[in-house]
Structure formats: C-alpha cells, structure tokens
C-alpha cells in the first residue's frame, strides 16, 4: 500500500469523515460533532490519508492525566490494512507526549474487530456500562490502558 499519512483533522476533511462515519455506525456523529471536536481545546482529532483520500480518523479528549478515545473508524474499503492500528498508535504517542497516564474507551460488546485491535495495544476490559448504546441496545465494555512514562 502507498504511504499513509496521519495528520490533524481539518474543517475541510469533515464531509469525507462524515461519509465514513455514516457507513460505520448506526448512530453516527454529525458534521457539527466533528466540528466541535476539532475546536475543543483538550481534544485530538486525526485523519489517515493516502494522497488526498481520507481512509479513517480518530478523536480523543484529554482531562488532566486521562485520555478518552471517543471515535475511531476506517472506510470499509481500507479495513484490515493496518490503518486503524496506525491511528491508535499515533494517538497513544500524542496523548503520552501531552502527559496522559491512562487512556479509556467504550466499545460495543459485539464489536470484536475493535476489541481485538485495542487488545493488541494491551488495553484491558475494566468494566461494563449497561445499556450504553442504542440501535441496537447493547452494553459497552470499558477498556483502559496505563501508559508507561
């Protein structure tokens, strides 16, 4: 595969990001949600590209020494090629550099692809949020990684 670039998400990326969002989730974020993320002071939003084609994105927020992954998706045509892993790995570097010690996320209990991806980075299941998701109703697994300093 040609060289994948990871960079900060820009306002002009949002229409392409929303296209991926809409095919990836049953309750997708709106353009406005992404817009809010990119201008929030303690947030990180990044996209993965080949040339000017957006392949995927990740959004996270930071509160003191904790980061929280809020969103991650890769276009179906580019899944299983390491794009999701590259986004997670770049995010981990960034939040660690900014002083975070812990990183959390929620994932649907049935989402084996995402769960496996995060397990490969040593995230562990630390709890369950009952009925966290709608369409369909489902529990969330809370996963956490302690970052080394």
For 7, the token pair is 């960079």
Residue 107 within binding range of ligand ACO, rule CB under 6 A: yes
The least CB distance from residue 90 to ligand ACO, in Å, is: 12
β-bridge mates for residue 57, sequence order: 47, 73
Which listed residue (44, 47, 62, 69) binds ligand ACO by CB under 6 A? Answer: 69
* String marking each residue 28-47 x if it binds ligand ACO according to CB under 6 A: --------------------
Nearer Cβ to ligand ACO (113/126): 113
* String marking each residue 84-103 x if it binds ligand ACO according to CB under 6 A: xx------------------
Within a 10 A sphere around the Cβ of 83, how many other Cβ atoms? 22
Residue 135 within binding range of ligand ACO, rule CB under 6 A: no
Please work out the total of residues on this chain that contact ligand ACO, with binding judged by CB under 6 A: 22
Residue of 76, 55, 39 whose CA lies nearest to 7:
55
């Amino acid at each position: 595969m040609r060289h994948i670039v990871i960079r900060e998400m820009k306002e002009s990326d949002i229409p392409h990001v929303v296209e991926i969002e809409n095919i990836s989730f049953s309750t997708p974020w709106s353009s406005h949600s992404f817009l809010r993320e990119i201008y929030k002071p303690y947030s990180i939003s990044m996209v993965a590209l080949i040339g000017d084609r957006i392949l995927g994105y990740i959004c996270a927020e930071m509160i003191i020494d904790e980061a929280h992954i809020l969103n991650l998706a890769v276009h179906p045509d580019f899944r299983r090629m390491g794009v999701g892993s590259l986004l997670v790995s770049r995010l981990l570097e960034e939040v660690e550099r900014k002083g975070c010690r812990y990183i959390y996320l929620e994932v649907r209990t049935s989402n084996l692809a995402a769960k496996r991806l995060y397990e490969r980075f040593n995230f562990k299941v630390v709890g369950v949020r009952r009925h966290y998701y709608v369409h369909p109703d489902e529990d969330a697994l809370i996963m956490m990684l302690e970052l080394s300093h």
